[in-house]
Amino acid sequence: MDFEDLCNTGLVLGLGNYSPSSLTSKNPTKNGDHIRKTAEPSLTLSLSGAKKDDSDLYRQDSAASSFPTVSVKREREVRSEDEEEDGPNDRKKLRLSKAQAALLEESFKQHSTLNPKQKQDLARELKLRPRQVEVWFQNRRARTKLKQTELDCEFLKKCCETLTDENRRLHKELQELKLSQPLYMQLPAATLTMCPSCERIGGAVADNTAKTFIKPHFYNPFTNPSAAC
DNA sequence: GGGGTCAATATGCCCG
DNA sequence: CGGGCATATTGACCCC
């Protein structure tokens, strides 16, 4: 479901400051900035290798790296044979070990972005490249945001359902009230006037209808403040 | 085999 | 202008 669907119910949701733009990953294209504005600024520290190249610089280690803590090998190293021949072209799938993932998660809980020192330390601790840690955090933030978007969507959907029900209920109530009230009560209030002296309702300004039924006892000071009967 | 997950890559924007 | 970031996409891998 997308946000448009939500809005097509004919209801207008008043949900405080909720901004639909934070919802629509539909057209996220350029600006991820609404997120970043709130994120902590981080210093930059460049590693000697170029940005895009460090993966190549370190590519070999995808097979070699293991996380020391529990001497965990890579999680699903079923295909250990291929890993020997770590060709230059292959983009093998590194699977982080449970211990690595746990530590990354732990760290993410504390701060969803890393400054260069944190990145370095974490990378060292995990026996990963800083770039890998960085990528992991990027992906992790993306996952978090996606999940949050889904939750927001669910929430709005619920709101929409609730309001639709409420709207239906109120319509029904109004219908019932209309049926149970005297006829003049069914006139729009603004068309009714009440004589200040006798306190009886006069009809609307040029009402033909009011003649036919009991004089209503409403007074509209704006239409006829000093009018007498 | 196809769908899901996730690390890695590509791209574009923003900010210092 | 370079680095960091968000976002989209790719591709390896797993599981049913």
To the nearest 10°, report the CA torsion of A155, A158, A163, A165. -170
Beta carbons of A197 and A189 less than 8 angstroms apart: no
What's the pLDDT at A49?
31
Token pair of A221 as six digits: 């000071």
Q: Are strands A201-202 and A193-194 parallel, antiparallel or unpaired?
A: antiparallel
N-term to C-term CA, chain A? 60
Chain C bases having any atom below 7 Å from a protein CB: 2-8, 11-15
**CA A97 / C1′ C2 distance in Å:** 33
pLDDT surpasses 70 at A88: no
CA at A137, C1' at B8: how many angstroms apart?
Answer: 12
Mean pLDDT of A52-71: 37
**Spatial distance from the CA of A178 to the C1' of C7 (Å):** 54
Q: Is the pLDDT of residue A107 over 80?
A: yes
Phi, psi of A183 (to 5 degrees): -60, -40
Cβ-7 Å neighbors of strand B: A 30-33, 37, 41, 52, 55-56, 59, 62, 91, 93-96, 101, 131-132, 135-136, 138-140, 143
Confirm if A104 and A136 have CB atoms less than 8 A apart.
Answer: yes
Most confidently modeled range among A70-74, A84-88, A147-151, A175-179: A175-179
And the tokens for A156? 């709005």
**CB distance A193 to A178 below 8 Å:** no
Q: Which nucleotides of B are covered by protein (CB under 7 A)?
A: 6-16
Q: Give the integer Cα–Cα distance in Å for A182 and A187.
A: 10
Name the closest nucleotide to A55, judged by C1' and CA: B8
Residue nearest to nucleotide C5 (CA to C1'): A36
Mean pLDDT of A186-205: 60
What is the enclosing helix (H) or strand (E) of A143?
Answer: helix A130-180
Report the alpha-carbon distance of residue A182 to residue A185 in Å, rounded: 6
